[in-house]
Amino acid sequence: MIDVRRLRLLRELDSRGTIAATAQALHLTPSAVSQQLAALAKETGVRLLDPAGRRVRLTPAAQVLLEHADILFAQLERAEADLAAFDEGRVGSVAVAAFTTAISGIVAPALLALRESRPRLRLSVTDVPEPACFDQVLGGELDLAIGITHAGARPLDSRLLRIPLLDDPLEVALPVGHPYASASVVPLEALRADEFIVSRPGTACREVAHAACAAAGFVPQVRHNADDFVAILTLIAAGCGVSLVPRLAGLSSTDQVVLRPIAGSVPIRPIFAAVRRGSHQAPHLSAVLAALVAAARSPSPYDAPASVRGGEAWAVHSG
């Protein structure tokens, strides 16, 4: 193995021309310089120096070695620059898991902002359901997972840190012919006789919807199950029932379906990010968290700021 420090010494000798000048420039003794050059010649197995009066001349083999040394030192300079950028959160890779509406409403706007402010920060996004996403964060397969707080959720592992992102309100989705379709707000208890379209059992959206109906004093009559909100709207348009849909889904009223705010206490989906405790201090992950928080708090999902400074835009909540 060639010692990089000895290569640097050889390059200095090529520049200075004499052992004495090289020793003076590097604050070494001439004897120490000669010994290091002799060790380098032994490492490479070639003669590096020829005497030339009071000076020495590099051999052709030494010149070949210096060509490689220049490339090597340039790469080392790039490595040092990249490490400095990593320390500033401008370089790195972050693996994120999120559910569909969080990907479209929070993660995608954050990616747009990071693409402008930190173009060398790479994110990979995967749709992984709870609680598997949190297990993968603990196992190191993911760096960050976005989830929903709800009554049926498994308690978050104490090794994970919870960072609140958004309280996502639910709205009522009704067919245009429904008695409350023209109302400005809809009391949830007024829908007790309606058939509901909800997500599959065990999902966060279903749990939140059932909890909201329970708070209004009834158990929803579930007729259809679908996880895709576009599919839910299609079923509503076909007169198959009503539903509660999150605002983050970005859905809008159509000529067949209307969305209306819920009167009184509005049910919400508390959305949060989870990371391994301590990992949020890594500059690149801190920058991603800051971008996610900024995107979640923007008035519109795609109004996230173009520049996000890592670690300064979000607050950590233990639990």
Q: Is the pLDDT of residue 235 over 50?
A: yes
Q: Specify the pLDDT at position 307.
A: 39
Helix pair 4-16, 30-44: axis angle to 10 deg: 120
Percent of the chain with pLDDT over 70: 90
- Measured CA to CA, the distance from residue 191 to residue 220 in angstroms comes to 8
Lowest mean per-residue pLDDT among 150-154, 170-174, 283-287: 150-154
| Distance linking the first and last C-alpha atoms of the chain | 50
Token representation of residue 274:
């989870």
- Measured CA to CA, the distance from residue 228 to residue 199 in angstroms comes to 8
Amino acid at 247: R
pLDDT in tens, 209-231: 999 999 999 999 999 999 899 99
- Domain 168-268: CATH architecture, name and number where available: 3-Layer(aba) Sandwich (3.40)
Radius of gyration over every alpha carbon of the chain, rounded to an integer in angstroms: 31
Pairing between β-strand 144-148 and β-strand 268-276 as defined by DSSP bridges:
antiparallel
Q: Specify the pLDDT at position 69.
A: 87
Q: Is the pLDDT of residue 297 over 70?
A: yes
- Positions of CATH 1.10.10.10 in the chain: 4-87
Using CA atoms of 173, 178, 183, 187 in order, give the dihedral in degrees to the nearest 10: -70
Q: Which CATH number fits domain 92-166+269-303: 3.40.50.460, 1.20.120.140, 3.40.190.10, 1.20.1250.20?
A: 3.40.190.10
Which residues make beta-bridge pairs with 275?
161
- Positions of CATH 3.40.190.10 in the chain: 92-166+269-303, 168-268
pTM of the model: 0.69
Token representation of residue 115:
């693409």
Q: Which CATH number fits domain 4-87: 3.40.50.300, 1.10.150.20, 1.10.10.10, 3.90.1490.10?
A: 1.10.10.10
Q: Specify the pLDDT at position 177.
A: 94
